[in-house]
Amino acid sequence: MTRTHAALGGLLVVLAASGAAWALAYPQAAPAQAVVRAVADCAAAVTLGLATAPALEDGRHRTELMHRAEAPLAVAAGVWLVAELCRLVVGAAAAAAMPVTRVGLGTALEFASATAVGRSGVFSAAAAGVVLLLAVAAPRTAPVTVAVAGVTAVGLVARTIGGHMAASALGGAAIAVHALTAALWCGTLAALVLTVEHRGQWARVLPRFSELSLGCVIALLAGGVAGALVVIGSPSQLFGTGYGRVLLIKIVLTVVLLALAWSNRARWLPAAKSHRVTAYLSRSRSLTELAIMTVALTMAAALSVTG
């Protein structure tokens, strides 16, 4: 499977999952906002992963992986920037209660400057722009890669400031941790699919990715549980509200991902370390996990815009 096919497949998964989220949350759902938010989230996650993945290689091969990530990083950052700009326009349309096609520059600028959601969106778009500039113009060095990862992380966290948990300090901090660690986990796996080509590379990077993902899972579970407790007052809300139903599906998907990750850690990891798994099989296992991750990220995006 080529990178283009993988990207198109991911977009189809986002669209299908957004439709499912709309059905679950109807009539509270905001489908257009959910789609652009999901695309922005997934692109930002891949951007973060491409900046992080070279650190999983050993010193002798790290530069090679860094250079292999150049083109995908520029594309991911570009998609992230466009999605953030589209999110501002769609958000302005929702705030002004008008069709997207009627949103003018004045309306968009007012939304971007006068609302917390708009200002956080501008900050995220600016972060995406900086990352794109670094990806296109800066040399591929370790300091630049660290800068890309840092700016991407800041851009990811910024959008949670104006989100549905912004009124709660605990909820805001929890969702920031949850979003950042989820992006790191999912994005790094996507980056490995895009950049790792042979079984020897998988044997080197997969053990380190496994350790990284373990820490991410612990942090995202803690952040997710704390955030859910802030919003969900009683178990009945998991079934009686659109937000609760989408959250319930996201919880189920998380459980599935944890079970799959545990199985991969027990079987795939030892086989990959001993070079008993082909690169094709490693990539196929990763794509299966990434498909479920994409659905979970889309449900999270839908939660952020569900009333």
Q: What is the tens place of the pLDDT at every residue in 125-155?
A: 999 999 999 999 988 888 999 999 999 999 9
Q: What is the pLDDT of residue 277?
A: 87
State yes or no: pLDDT of 252 exceeds 60.
yes
pLDDT classification of 2: cutoffs 50, 70, 90: low
* Helices 242-263, 279-304: inter-axial angle, 10-degree rounding: 160
State yes or no: pLDDT of 286 exceeds 90.
yes
Looking at every residue in the chain, the average pLDDT score rounds to 88
Q: What is the pLDDT of residue 209?
A: 95
* Helices 242-263, 3-25: inter-axial angle, 10-degree rounding: 140
Most trustworthy range by pLDDT among 43-52, 61-70, 231-240: 43-52
Most trustworthy range by pLDDT among 24-28, 60-64, 82-86, 162-166: 82-86
Q: What is the pLDDT of residue 169?
A: 64
Q: What is the pLDDT of residue 165?
A: 57
Q: What is the pLDDT of residue 241?
A: 79
User: Residues of the chain with pLDDT > 70: what percent?
Assistant: 94
Residue partners of 14: CB distance under 8 A and separation at least 6: 35, 38, 39, 42, 294, 298
State yes or no: pLDDT of 166 exceeds 80.
no
Q: Confirm if 216 and 306 have CB atoms less than 8 A apart.
A: no
- Give residue-wise pLDDT tens across range 92-113: 998 888 988 899 889 999 999 9
CA dist 221 → 40, 129, 208, 211 (Å): 22, 30, 20, 16
Please give the model's pTM, rounded to 2 decimal places: 0.92
Q: Does domain 3-304 have CATH number 2.40.50?
A: no
Q: In angstroms, how far is the first alpha carbon of the chain from the final one? A: 38
Q: What is the pLDDT of residue 164?
A: 55
